Amino acid sequence: MRVVNWLNKRLRGLIDAVARFPLTTAFLLAAAIINAYDINLTERHFMNYLLAFVVGAFLSAVAESAYERFFTKGLVRFTLMGIVVLLTAGYYFIIKSAPEYSMSVNIRTGVVLFALLIAFIWIPAIKSKVSFNKSFMISFKAFFIAVFFSGVIFGGVSLIISATDTLIFPIDYKVFSHAANLIFLLFGPLYFLSLIPVYLGKENKDNDEQLKNIRRAANCPKFLEILISYIIVPLIAVFTLILVIYIVQNIGGDFWSDNLLEPMLVSYAITVILVYILASEIENKFAAFFRKVFPKVLVPIVVFQIISSILSLEDTGITHTRYYVILFGIFAAIAGVLLSFLPVRKNGIIAAILIVFAMISVVPPVDAFTISKHNQINILEEVLAKNEMLGNGKIIPNGSISDADKQKITNIVYYLQMMGYMERTEYFPKDFDAYRDFYETFGFKEYYEQTDRNQSVYVHLEPSYPINIAGYDTFIQTDIYSQMQNEGQNEKIAVIEKAGNKYSLLRDFRKDEIDIVLGGENKEELIRFKTKDIYDKFENYHSIKEMITPEEATFTVENEKVKMTIVTQDVSIDKQNGYNNALFYVFVQIK
């Protein structure tokens, strides 16, 4: 009976959520329909529609939250809905004009959605008896409950589909995608909204019964209280101690140039602020100690991180990731100062500041993408101009520039291509592709510092290019690999006959090397090719440079008796384990 009552309560909650957030429900339903359509027609893409509908769902939820908190008239509600529809349509036309699959569109959308989520949590707490901490705790619990139930339902549905497919009749694999679409895009968000209580509004701001319901919903579960107070807080304390010791030991050196530490410090700041807000609803000594001490510790750590990130701009310039790291560092420093002095109930001001910072980062001309694009293009033009590689609006190849400039050009070009900015740069060739056209455009191969190079390299001969075989008597395909090592011996690959004479093509195993040798009838050595030259040439290639031209793949040795050419097909280099192998053609001309 309890289960039935619980199910009835949850069903009523879902129905109430649909009635409470009708426009949000409509946008979610539209998103689910367009996504289902996209699943069926894989050759077509409706990502712009999907993003617009999701943004509309978030906007309408925030608008409904604002209506419940500050207004009572139905006309205001419909006006807010109309504004949301217009904003959603405007957003669609903005992203429609952006380059296809632009990363900046996805990141901007993510930041906007994050800001709207924070606004949804913060608005009910504005000038209310309900604090931001309580509103945050309610949404925090609702999110994980919704994710948990959505995951359980999807797992059960997947088992049913699999069993039916195996035991009764075959089912299209796309059914799994359709199930995930309905559960995670429609049911999950609506279930989340059903767990959000109606907050105190303009008319019921003194409703004690409603306030009790809100406080009950915001109650911190015992499990979460134990997890935060006795596990997470001590772990953060130990990690903070290690971090402080590292900073003190390296303050005069490695700290300012250690880029690997940057994401760690950002994660640390996010964790401290999040745990602080959650701990605001917990009353015990561990939680009180955390609230009293850690905001003050946070400030100097993030200030050091900001300085370190700014110093690194000299080497990398401003990218959107660096922009967000610095911007978040500034926010975290401000938050640390405010949390150190403001009462716990005033934490909502942190949410307001976070929303402002998020919107600054996506609104031109001071957004992360406009600033990073102009900065990277300016640096590239300066480096090209310094090396006399710009003329008549075109790039002039020059392979003799310094390694530092090669690295700057490489990093910036791949960044511009990744972000979809290449078409807006006039001096690049039309349809320029960095993976294909880099060498021809700049006159040197992509340059990476040793620490940036992959531990594995794989190159493959471009299949569409012809190979000139004129003048050679024969060719043989063969291979070599590290496990072949058998020092002091040789292995016959093939026998070549010409003018009644027989010649042997051999693998000659030497210490840590394998050579390709052509021997005469009397076993005398006519010519030798060191296959180590293959690995030496490709060792510093980046793994993204998979395709190579025949010119890159060709190695030739020649003397008065024989000309031998090696054309590599596949080369694999595992630097970490020392395993190398190559597949290649051997062309032989006996003079």
The pLDDT of residue 50 is above 70:
yes
Note the pLDDT of residue 124: 93
Note the pLDDT of residue 238: 93
Would you tell me how many other CB atoms lie within 10 Å of the CB of residue 542? Answer: 18
- Check the CA dihedral 238-244-245-247 and report its sign: positive
The pLDDT of residue 539 is above 70:
yes
The pLDDT of residue 558 is above 70:
yes
**Site of tokens 């619980």:** 6
> Which two structure tokens, joined as six digits, stand for 318?
């401003």
- Rank 296-310, 328-342, 444-458, 475-489 by mean pLDDT and report only the highest: 328-342
Note the pLDDT of residue 312: 83
Q: Tell me which residue of 209, 238, 208, 232 sits closest to 220, measured CA to CA.
A: 232
Mean pLDDT of 419-431: 78
Q: Which of 41-55, 60-74, 172-186, 269-283 is predicted least confidently? A: 41-55
β-strand pairing of 547-548 with 456-461? parallel
Note the pLDDT of residue 260: 63
The pLDDT of residue 438 is above 60:
yes
Report domain extents, the chain. 2-217, 222-360, 368-452, 459-590
Mean pLDDT of 460-467: 80
Instruction: Pick 40 or 67 by higher pLDDT.
Output: 67
**Can you say whether residue 283 is alpha, beta or left, with left for phi > 0 and alpha for psi between -120 and 50 degrees?**
beta
pLDDT digits (tens, 9 = 90+) for 1-12: 676 776 777 788
Note the pLDDT of residue 259: 63
pLDDT digits (tens, 9 = 90+) for 118-131: 999 999 999 888 88
- Please spell the DSSP secondary structure of 393-424, one letter per residue: TEEPP-TTS-HHHHHHHHHHHHHHHHHT-GGG
Note the pLDDT of residue 257: 65
pLDDT digits (tens, 9 = 90+) for 240-269: 998 888 888 877 666 666 666 778 888 899
Distance CA 397, CA 121 (A): 55
Q: What are phi and psi of 5, to 5 degrees?
A: -65, -40
Q: What angle do CA 374, 376, 380 make, to 5 degrees?
A: 115
pLDDT digits (tens, 9 = 90+) for 183-192: 999 999 999 9
Cβ neighbours of residue 566 closer than 8 Å, sequence gap 6 or more: 516, 529, 531, 534, 554, 555, 556, 584, 585, 586, 587
pLDDT tier at 452, thresholds 50, 70, 90: very low
pLDDT digits (tens, 9 = 90+) for 292-336: 999 999 999 899 888 888 888 877 889 999 999 999 999 999 999
For residues 49 and 97, the answer to whether their CB atoms sit within 8 Å is no
Mean pLDDT of 442-470: 74
Note the pLDDT of residue 228: 92
Note the pLDDT of residue 557: 92
Q: Assign 571 to helix, strand or coil.
A: strand
Return the DSSP state at 199.
Answer: P
> Which two structure tokens, joined as six digits, stand for 535?
């690995």
Q: Assign 434 to helix, strand or coil.
A: helix
Mean pLDDT of the chain: 87
Report which secondary-structure segment, H or E, holds 475: strand 474-481
Distance CA 587, CA 468 (A): 10
pLDDT digits (tens, 9 = 90+) for 62-103: 999 999 999 888 899 999 999 999 999 999 988 887 655 567
Mean pLDDT of 548-556: 86
Note the pLDDT of residue 231: 94
The pLDDT of residue 350 is above 90:
yes
Mean pLDDT of 425-451: 77
Instruction: Pick 61 or 251 by higher pLDDT.
Output: 61
